[in-house]
Structures are given as structure tokens and as C-alpha cells.
Amino acid sequence: MPCNADRASLIRSSGDDLLSVDGAGPADCQALAEQLRSTGDWLECVAGIDSVVVQFDTTTLDTETARHRIEEELRICRAASDLVQAPLVEVPVLYGGEFGPDLDDVCEQVGLTPDELIELHTGCEYRVDMLGFTPGFAYVGDLDDRLNVPRLSEPRVRVAAGSIGIADGRTGIYALAGPGGWQLIGRTAMALFEPQSEEPFVLRAGMRVRFTAIDQQHFVAVTK
């Protein structure tokens, strides 16, 4: 994220106690959010795909003072490449079958065999761009262009927790069960929600992710 005074023009009011800062991309937004959190001046800093939403305490700051403080951080913020290397999480996935009901349709759309699609999907490292849509839902990008498919024309009323879907150039990981329109290619055996933990959702923005293909026997063993 460019750290200069010109960035100040991209700070917008989003409510009485909220400011939104435009970013150059997910990694840069995460870098700015981390920088802002480190100051302890803000109630919350949430990084999105292309912006950071900052909540401030209106009893101690007015909007203009909050804006000026963010401007100062923009001048000194660290580049995304300067952040401490994010942890790598391996996500085991059982592809196809009842857990990936759209796999065959996706293969037909993109002109690949199931084995070729799985090889592409597991063949590189990704980063969690943001969480949203439903609690813990992870937007993971960027997919190989050969796997770019649209969302379903009719979303499902219920998608099982752990489901792995692809759409619009990203992978979506459902931490909890709920509705969804992503094309489901598999399901992970990982427990993505640990309610007793201080950090209940295993995946967080900025984490590195690598998918690994597993078989039915491994899936059952992990989920027991």
C-alpha cells in the first residue's frame, strides 16, 4: 500500500464511529490493519479485499482527529512484504462425490478431468484474503485462471460446514453450515470452528493455505 499523503483522500466516513480506507489489495489491507492494531488507538480494524474499516471511540476521538491519525499511519505503514511470514495451514480435502457435488459440472465447464482440476487446486499456495459472508467463511485467492467459474445460479439453502467451493477466481471455505452459492468441489476434514478456543475460527485473514487431497479413509479417520 503506498504510504504517502495522497492516500488521505481515500479515507471515507462509513458511520458515526467508522472510517473506511481504500487499499490496493488484500495483502496491503491486512498490512495496514495490522499496523493500526499495533497502535492500540482503535476499537476494531477489519481488513477486507480492497479496504480497511476502522472503528474509533467517539468519546475520545472525533471523526477529523481519527482521520488525521490514520493519515499519519499511512505515511509510516509497513509494506505487506515486510510483515512477519504468516503461518501456513494445510487443509485436507476429500474432493468430489457427495462432498463435492459440483466437481463434475465444474470440470465440464473448464474442460478438465477431475484429476487435472484437483492437481491444479492443490498445486500452489494461497492466502486468506478475508473472512465474511457468514462467521468464519474464508475467501481464499487467487485461483488459477483455468479454474475460474461463476457462482451457482440458484444458491443452496444449506451447505455443510467444511465445504470447499470455488467461484469468481477464489476458493470459499465454509467454517459453519449455512446457505451458499459457491460451486462445491470437496469438503475438508479439519475442524474449522473451535468454540472453546480464544480464536474460535482456525482460519484468519492473511494466513497462507495449501489444499491437500485425501481419500475417504483418511477423511473418516480425521473427523472421528
Tell me the per-residue pLDDT of 184-218, one tens digit each, with 9 for 90 and over.
999 998 999 988 888 889 998 888 999 999 999 98
Helices (H) and strands (E) in the chain, counts: 5, 13
Look at residue 147 and tell me whether its pLDDT is greater than 90: yes
Cβ–Cβ < 8 Å for 121, 102 = no
pTM of the model as a whole? 0.74
Structure confidence at residue 156 as a pLDDT band (50, 70, 90): very high
Shortest CA distance to 203 belongs to which of 193, 212, 214, 213?
193
The yes-or-no verdict on residue 83 having pLDDT over 70 is: no
pLDDT of residue 133: 84
**Nearest of 192, 61, 191 to residue 137 by alpha carbon:** 192
The number of beta carbons lying within 10 Å of the beta carbon of residue 199 is: 8
Q: Which has more confidence, 199 or 43?
A: 43
Which residues of the chain does CATH 3.30.1360.40 include?
A: 5-81
E strand spans, 73-205: 88-95, 126-131, 138-141, 156-159, 163-167, 170-173, 178-180, 183-188
Pick the CATH number of 88-223 from 3.40.50.300, 3.60.20.10, 2.40.100.10, 2.130.10.10: 2.40.100.10
Cis bond leading into 41, ω under 30°? no
What pLDDT, in 10s, does the model give residues 159-172?
Answer: 999 999 999 999 99
pLDDT for 128 beyond 80: yes
Looking at the chain, the domain(s) classified CATH 2.40.100.10 span: 88-223
Q: What is the pLDDT at residue 119?
A: 97
**Mean of the per-residue pLDDT values for the chain?**
87
Q: What pLDDT is attached to residue 78?
A: 52
CATH number of 5-81: 3.30.1360.40
Sign of CA dihedral 5, 6, 7, 12: positive
Within 13 Å and on the Cβ side, how many CA atoms surround 72?
Answer: 8
Q: pLDDT band for 157, please (50, 70, 90 cuts).
A: very high
For residues 95 and 24, give the distance between their C-alpha atoms in angstroms, rounded to a whole number.
33
Lowest mean pLDDT among 28-37, 114-123, 212-221: 28-37
Tell me the backbone φ, ψ of residue 88, rounded to 5 degrees: -100, 130
